[in-house]
Amino acid sequence: MIDSSYEAPTAGPMRIAYLVNTYPVTSASFIRRELMEVEAQGASVARFTLRRWATPLVDPVDLEEARKTRAVLEVGASGLAKGLVASAFRRPGKFARALAQAWRLGRRGSGSSSARGFARHLIYLAEACVLLDWHREQRTDHVHAHYGTNSTTVALLCRTLGGPPYSFTTHGPEEFDQPLALGLDLKIRDAAFAVAISEHGRSQLCRWVPYDQWSKIEVVRCGLDPMFLDAPHVPLPEARRLVCVGRFAEQKGLPVLLEAAGRLRAEGVAFDLTLVGDGPLRGEIEAQVKRHRLEDCVRLAGWKSNAEVRNLITDSRALVLPSFAEGLPVAIMESLALGRPVISTWVAGTPELVEPGVCGWLVPPGSAEALASAIRELLDTPLDELERMGKRGAERVALRHNIAIEARKLRELIGRAERNPSTPDSRTPSLATSA
């Protein structure tokens, strides 16, 4: 049974702790926006991350967030070991339950090696012990984690040790690739509530829990701040410029985009394409640019600040994002908010926002031929029609992705959970579940 005796203040502003596996991260500005808006609406927000991002930050707001954020792994191996020993000594019963929980979760996600999986989850338990002390220092009312991966595992173990109630947001696609190995069913069962960023995401969570748990799964969409929602309209350029914003990783499908660009170039279609981002596929992408002879029309811009991304989008006719797997890309929201149509793929939550013929194009993921055809059609579309599509896209985003509205939803969910906590029996971990 999860301990329900955690002591938190009963007066004053709600004290919420955000927990993210890596924070802040340039490609995850949506988390920072939500956190800061929750804070702006009156909550006291502590920032906790398991580790720092290894890549240098470029946005001034991210740099300031980094200064406000405590990283668990910075306590070092000795600090983690000290937290484990102290917790085992101070609360032996709760520690034994958390240790058993870590063992069973480790067996689920370890593949052929239970020992390796348990070792990893023993580290998560040590991180939970450190965080438990931090929560007591902060007198945290509630923990909200982002991503249903290791950050939520740590929040769950911390709760089992006697820490504050938790909730978590899943984004996809990583969580949906191995839901049972990650223990999403147990995390939802023991959470105050769970959040998905799209209806598609909610459906994927509902697949892995009993029907009586569906009511705990809510949709809180990623929101945009006024920099995008309230930006003055900039007319589409005469120049045939396109932009792609995303990590240089397999799931974003950038090699398919470059293959499509190579086809168009071979046909004599004129265009310029800027790739904003970076990542493990950078070397391959650079090689593809050379292989397809795209050096004079494709530019790799690296990571950019929010303001720079906004300017690159408004300098372009459209955003192209040929993803294989997604949650719901924030870059699509930003492009539509700025009145720019989108070319993307029929995956995950993207069709909930991009309607073909209304505000963009959707193509099958992985098809360079279909992607090239959509780009060609967009470049041949009159600017006044693209302007109309962009306007309709901006209207859709304003209705669905206002950060003030979405953050208020989250605060209300947390407040409701605090006013009506689950009974201890309903928060009993499913430790007997077979691995």
- Answer yes or no: are the C-beta atoms of 345 and 362 closer than 8 Å: yes
Residue written as token pair 């029609």: 385
The tokens for 304 are: 């950019």
Q: Has residue 30 got a pLDDT over 80? A: yes
Q: Are residues 309 and 382 in the same domain?
A: yes
For 383-420, what is each residue's pLDDT tens digit? Answer: 999 999 999 999 999 999 999 999 999 999 999 998 88
pLDDT value for 108: 85
- For residue 434, being part of any structural domain is answered with no
We report the CATH number of the domain holding residue 87 as: 3.40.50.2000
Of the chain, the percentage scoring pLDDT greater than 90 comes to: 86
Question: Which pLDDT does position 431 carry in this prediction?
Answer: 33
List pLDDT tens digits, range 97-139: 999 999 999 988 655 456 788 899 999 999 999 999 999 999 9
pLDDT digits (tens, 9 = 90+) for 52-97: 999 899 889 999 999 999 999 999 999 999 999 999 999 999 999 9
Q: What is the DSSP letter of 353?
A: T
Which positions ≥6 away from 289 have C-beta within 8 Å? 258, 295, 298, 300
Residue with the bigger pLDDT between 26 and 191: it is 191
Does residue 6 lie in a domain region?
no
pLDDT for 213 equals 96
Tally of structural domains, the chain: 2
- Of the candidates 4, 326, 43, which has an alpha carbon nearest to the alpha carbon of residue 165? 4
Q: Are residues 282 and 407 in the same domain?
A: no
Considering the domain architecture, whether residues 133 and 245 belong to the same structural domain is answered as no
Beta bridge partners of 15: 44
Contact in structure between 184 and 292 (CB atoms under 8 Å):
no
Q: Are residues 285 and 211 in the same domain?
A: no
Mean pLDDT along residues 424-435: 35
CA 373 to chain centre: 30
Residues 320 and 341 in one domain: yes
Do 195 and 63 belong to one domain?
yes
C-alpha dihedral over 50, 53, 59, 64, to 10 degrees? 40
* Torsion angles phi and psi, residue 222, rounded to 5: -65, 140
Does residue 4 form part of some domain?
A: no
Query: So what's the pLDDT on residue 113?
Result: 58
Distance CA 385, CA 363 (A): 20
- Which range in 21-30, 236-245, 425-434 is most confidently predicted, on average pLDDT? 236-245
- Model confidence over 205-260: pLDDT tens digits? 999 999 999 999 999 999 998 889 999 999 999 999 999 999 999 999 999 999 99
- Statement to judge: residues 276 and 194 lie in one domain: no
Whether 2 maps to a domain, the answer reads: no
- Could you tell me the sign of the dihedral formed by the alpha carbons of 302, 365, 338, 297, in that order? positive
Is residue 187 domain-shared with residue 267, that is, in the same domain? no
The tokens describing 359, both together, are: 């505000």
- The yes-or-no verdict on residue 1 having pLDDT over 70 is no
Establish if 10 belongs to a structural domain.
Answer: no
Same-domain status, 43 and 120: yes
Q: Is residue 432 included in any domain, yes or no?
A: no
**Those residues with Cβ within 8 angstroms of residue 382's Cβ, 6 or more apart along the chain or in another chain:** none
Same domain, 198 and 328: no
Q: Does residue 147 sit within a domain?
A: yes
Q: Is the pLDDT of residue 262 over 80?
A: yes
Domain encompassing residue 369? 226-400
Express each pLDDT in 316-331 by its tens digit.
999 999 999 998 999 9
Give me the helices (H) in 232-367, please: 254-266, 282-291, 306-314, 330-337
Question: Could you tell me if 138 and 189 lie in one domain?
Answer: yes
Q: Is 107 in the same domain as 143?
A: yes
Tell me if 202 is assigned to some domain. Answer: yes
Average pLDDT of the chain to the nearest whole number: 92
